[in-house]
Amino acid sequence: MSEVKVNKISPRTGTATTVGDSGDTFTVPSGANLVVAGTLNPSGTITAGSIAGTAIADNAIDSDHYTDGSIDTAHIANDQITAALIADNAIDSDMYVDGSIDNAHIADDAIDSEHYADGSIDTAHYAAGSVDTTALGADAVTAAKIADDVVNSEHLAAGGIDTEHLGALQVTGAKLNTDVISAQTELASAPADADEFMVSDGGVLKRIDYSLIKGGDNTPFFFAHSSTSQSVTSATWTKVTLGTELIDTDSAFASDRFTVPSGKDGKYMLQGSLNTYGNNDTTKVFVAIYKNGAVLATTYNFMTNTDQDVRHYTADITTIDDASAGDYYEIYGNLVGSSLYFSHDSATPRSTNFLGYKLIG
């Protein structure tokens, strides 16, 4: 083997120097160094694995030096791939480890219904109170989804309960408002005029005030009788003095006369009794009811042409009249005989009297 030892090999000025011929091999022995101070421009093939990491300058390798697909995970240091190095839309489901995506990696409002597997969302995935009506489909809440005893009046639309939703005998008296006609409250006194009853008018239920059906109460009503005997002149119409009032519902009887009160127009029943006395020689007894100072009705209760030794006789009269407010009524008597009077004694109390009342209808 030939050996050449020199300090420097230089080409002639303006030319290039060639070392060896094609097929020749130059070996740098172990422990020796080949120092390239300038630029090494290899035009042939560099043996695989012959360029060590120490031979490559920092930051000298860029994307032009890589063969497509030549970088695998073994050549990438941990945490070296940042978001800026990942192309848009380059990461798909194949690149995720199962369970590796947590809440921190999901943007707000990024998950819609297309991302849910059917039946994958259960109550554990809902925050308390997070499901409102906008998240529910029509008719999505079935009876099976509603817990027992959770539906109260706040959840019912006005008028939403009809007869189809009521079980038999579920509406008790306690469930009815006080303005609903029922038997839950006792009326312990006579109905007031404004109290209402329910009636069927041709099959249609209607309410009616008590004042329209009660039929009246026969008032005004009065009754008065004499308290002393009253002396009279024979054959003379004399007004009967009635000193005691027993009944006067409308305070309409005064000065021995009854006056129809305002608002009490109508038909009236009027009755009178006259207990008379004569000195065993009474021949005639008349009794009359006067209206507004004139005879309204009169009767012959007793009449003879001769003395029949009559001492006591009671005459009666009854009539009905259509009266208006302000009309007044009195009872009169006319006796023929001697020592005459309208009698009042312990044997015949209240036998001389006058009564009247308004008829219903």
User: Which of 120 and 307 is assigned the larger pLDDT?
Assistant: 120
Span 102-119, average pLDDT:
77
- Beta partners for 323? 266
Please report which confidence band the pLDDT of residue 299 belongs to, taking 50, 70 and 90 as the band edges.
very high
Q: Which of 41-55, 273-287, 331-345 has the lowest mean pLDDT?
A: 41-55
pLDDT number for residue 180: 67
- What are phi and psi for residue 302, nearest 5 degrees? -155, 135
Residue with tokens 């039929």: 215
285 burial (CB, 10 Å; 0-12 / 13-18 / 19+) is buried
- What are phi and psi for residue 294, nearest 5 degrees? -130, 155
Please report which confidence band the pLDDT of residue 183 belongs to, taking 50, 70 and 90 as the band edges.
low
Please report which confidence band the pLDDT of residue 173 belongs to, taking 50, 70 and 90 as the band edges.
low
Mind listing the pLDDT tens digit for each residue in 8-46?
777 777 677 777 777 777 777 887 877 777 776 777 667
Contact 342/276 with Cβ under 8 angstroms?
Answer: yes
Q: Which of 188-197, 232-241, 255-264, 327-336 has the lowest mean pLDDT?
A: 188-197
Question: In angstroms, what CA-CA distances link 68 with 64, 89, 311?
Answer: 10, 19, 157
Q: Which of 70-79, 120-129, 315-324 has the lowest mean pLDDT?
A: 120-129
- What are phi and psi for residue 208, nearest 5 degrees? -140, 140
pLDDT number for residue 269: 98
For the chain, residues classed under CATH 2.60.120.40 are 221-358
Looking at domain 221-358, which of 2.60.120.40, 3.40.50.620, 2.60.120.620, 3.40.50.720 is its CATH number?
2.60.120.40
- What are phi and psi for residue 55, nearest 5 degrees? -85, -10
Assess whether pLDDT exceeds 90 at residue 263.
yes
Assess whether pLDDT exceeds 70 at residue 76.
yes
Average pLDDT along the chain: 84
pLDDT number for residue 292: 98
Span 185-190, average pLDDT:
84
Nearest CA to 261 among 355, 317, 192, 329?
329
Residue with tokens 């001389």: 352
User: Which of 187 and 359 is assigned the larger pLDDT?
Assistant: 359
pLDDT number for residue 181: 63
Helix intervals (H) in the chain? none
Q: How many C-beta atoms lie closer than 10 Å to residue 259's C-beta?
A: 20
Q: List the structure tokens of 163.
A: 């007869």
Q: In the chain, pLDDT over 70 holds for what percent of residues?
A: 93
317 burial (CB, 10 Å; 0-12 / 13-18 / 19+) is buried
- Beta partners for 356? 222, 270
